[in-house]
Amino acid sequence: MINHRSSRILLPVRIGFIWISLAIALVLHFVPIGRFYAVPDFVALVLAFWCVREPRLVGMGTAFLLGVAVDVAHGAAMGQHALAYVALAFACASMSRRLLWFSPAIQALHMVPLFLMVQLIMLVVRLMAGGRFPGWEYFFATFTTAALWLPVHYLLLLPQMRPVDRDENRPI
Amino acid sequence: MPVPGHQPPPFFKRGLPLSAKLTIYLALSLALLVADLRLRYLDTLRQGVAILTYPLQIAAATPAEFVRNTGNYFSGLVGLQRENERLSVSQLEAAQELLRLEQLKAENAQLRGLLDMRARVKVSSIAAEILFTARDPFSHRVILDKGTSQGVAPGLAVVDAAGVIGQVTRTFPLHSEVTLLSDKEQAIPVVVARSGLRAVMFGTGTGLMELRFLAANADVQVGDQILTSGLDGVFVPGLPVATVVRADGDTGESFGRIICKPIGGVAKNGSVLVLGRAEPLPERPAAENASPERSAAGRIGRKQSEPESQP
C-alpha cells in the first residue's frame, strides 16, 4: 500500500537531536535486565530510524562506533555488534528512498527482516567463536524492536513537526 | 581515467559510495572480531572504551536498582527484623566456629611443621558487590563494582557465602567482569571431597556443570560435595563448588557422565568476595616438552591435561 498523499512538511532535523536520541538509546540499551530476551534493541531501532530518515547524516561510521560501545558495555566479543550494526546501517541507507514511500506501519513490517539480520549476524559470530545457542527466545527481540518502530517514528519526528495551520490560499 | 562527459559533474559532494563504505566498515569490524577472539589484542582498546561507556552503564543501572529496591524499602520492618534475627543466629554459630578456628590454625601449622610441609597459602580477599548481570546472551557473566584500582586482577576466584561462583575474566579500572562457573567456556580443577578424586569441572551453559574425563566406574555418588583442588595455582584449595546431582556410570562409554549443581547461588544483587593468593606460587618444575604457560587457568582455550583421576 503506497501512500500517494504528500507527507507532512517537516522542519529540517537538528544534528544535536540525532545525537541525543542515539545517546538515550544507548543508555536504554545498557539498562541491566538480566536474561530477559524480549527487551528490544533500542540502539538498532534508533540507528535504523535515522539511517532511513537521514542517510546523509547518520550512516555506517556512526553504526560502527555505537556497535563498539555496546560490545564493550555488554562484555560481548569486540566487533560483534559493530558488524551487525554496520550491516543494518547499509541496508537501511540503501532502502531508505523506497521505505519512505510507505506508511510507518508498513515500514515497521519492512524492518523485521533487517532486525532479524542483526540478530542472526550476532548469533553466527558467537556460535563460530564457540558460544552456546541461547534458545529460540533470543529472536523475540527482533519483533519487539520492530513493533516499537511506530511509536519511535512519531516520537523522533515530533521536534520537526510544525503546527498544522489550514490556509486555503497557501500554495503548498 | 575518467573520460570527460561520461561522468556526472561533481556538483554535490557525496563522499564514498555506499558499497565502498560498507566494505571498509565490514573489514574493520571483522578485524576487530579476529583480533579480539583469536589474538586477544584488544584489552587496552576495551579498557579505553569502557571508560566512556561505564558512566552510561551506571546511569542506566541506578534507576533500575532504585525501582527494584523500592519494594524492599516499603516491605521493610518485619522482613528486616527477621533477617536480623537470622543473621545474629548465624553469626553466633560462625563465632563459635571462628573461636575454634584459631586453635585449629595453630594446631595445623604445628602439625605441618612436624611433617615438614609447606605452609598453606595465605589468602587475600576483596569484598565486592554484584552490580548487574552482563547482557550478553551467549555467556554467563556478572559485573562487579571493584576493578583494577581496588586490586582485582584477572583469574581471581569469586565466592559468595556458600561457595565459588566464578572467576574474574576481565578487569577495568573501576569494575570487572566475572565469568560464572556455569558458562560454557569456564573450567575449574576440583576434587571430590569424599573420595579425594581429582577432576576438571566444565560449565555446560545451562546453569549446571559437568565433571568430564572421569572413568565410568569412578567413585562419585549423587550428593558428593565438590571442592576446588587448587592445582591450577589460581583458586584457593578447599572452597566448596558444587554437589553432584547425577552420576551415570553405565553409559557404555569410557567416561562417566556426572552432572553437578553449583552451590554458590548468584543472587541478583549480592555481596561477594574476590579471593586471591597473597603470595605467588613457587616456580613450576621445567617440563620436558615445553608446555604453554597457564596464567589465567580455567580457560578451555589453553589445552593442558589435568590429572584425570587418582585411584
Domain range summary for chain A, segments of one domain joined by +: 15-160
* Residues of A in Cβ contact (< 8 Å) with B61: 30-32
Cα–Cα dist B233/B227, whole Å: 14
Question: Which B-chain residues 38-57 have CB contacts (< 8 A) with chain A?
Answer: 42, 45-46, 49-50, 52-54, 56-57
CATH fit for domain A15-160, picks 3.40.1000, 3.40.50, 1.10.10, 1.10.1760? 1.10.1760
Cα–Cα dist A11/B92, whole Å: 70
Q: Indicate the burial class of B179 (C-beta count within 10 angstroms; 0-12, 13-18, 19 or more).
A: buried
Contacts within 8 Å (CB) and 24+ apart, B119-122:
B121/B230, B121/B236, B121/B237, B121/B277, B121/B278, B121/B279, B122/B277, B122/B278, B122/B279
Confidence bin at B281 (pLDDT 50/70/90): low
Q: What residue in A sits closest to B170 (Cα-Cα)? A: A75
pLDDT of residue A8: 73
Question: Which A-chain residues 129-158 have CB contacts (< 8 A) with chain B?
Answer: 129-132, 134, 138
Backbone angles phi, psi at B74, to 5 degrees: -85, -20
Confidence bin at B296 (pLDDT 50/70/90): very low
Share of chain B above pLDDT 70, in %: 80
- Higher-confidence residue of B287 and A117: namely A117
Partner residue opposite A132 with nearest CB, options B52, B133, B184: B184
pLDDT of residue B29: 93
> How large is the average pLDDT for residues B3-12?
61
The C-alpha cell 569441572 sits at B201
What sign has the CA pseudo-torsion A113, A117, A119, A123? positive
| Continuous H helices in chain A | 15-30, 42-53, 60-74, 80-99, 104-128, 140-147, 149-157
- Higher-confidence residue of A65 and B67: namely A65
How do residues A76-125 score in pLDDT, each as one tens digit? Answer: 888 899 999 999 999 999 999 899 889 899 999 999 999 999 999 999 99
ipTM of the complex: 0.86
Which residues, 6+ apart, have CB-to-CB distance to A172 below 8 Å?
Answer: A9
pLDDT at position B295 over 70: no
pLDDT of residue A117: 95
Instruction: Flag whether residue B138 sits within 8 Å of chain A, measured between CB atoms.
Output: yes
Alpha carbon B88 to chain centroid distance? Answer: 30
* Residues of A in Cβ contact (< 8 Å) with B57: 30, 73
pLDDT of residue B135: 82
Cα–Cα dist B209/B218, whole Å: 17
Share of chain B above pLDDT 90, in %: 5
Cα–Cα dist A98/A92, whole Å: 10
> How large is the average pLDDT for residues B36-52?
84
pLDDT of residue B4: 55
How do residues B164-195 score in pLDDT, each as one tens digit? Answer: 888 898 888 888 989 888 888 888 889 988 88
pLDDT of residue A145: 93
Q: Which domains does chain B have, with CATH numbers?
A: 18-118 (no CATH), 121-278+300-311 (2.40.10.340)
Rg over alpha carbons for chain B, rounded to the nearest Å, is 25
> How large is the average pLDDT for residues B118-136?
78
How do residues B203-255 score in pLDDT, each as one tens digit? Answer: 887 778 888 888 877 788 888 888 888 887 778 888 888 888 888 766 667 77
Cα–Cα dist B273/B239, whole Å: 12
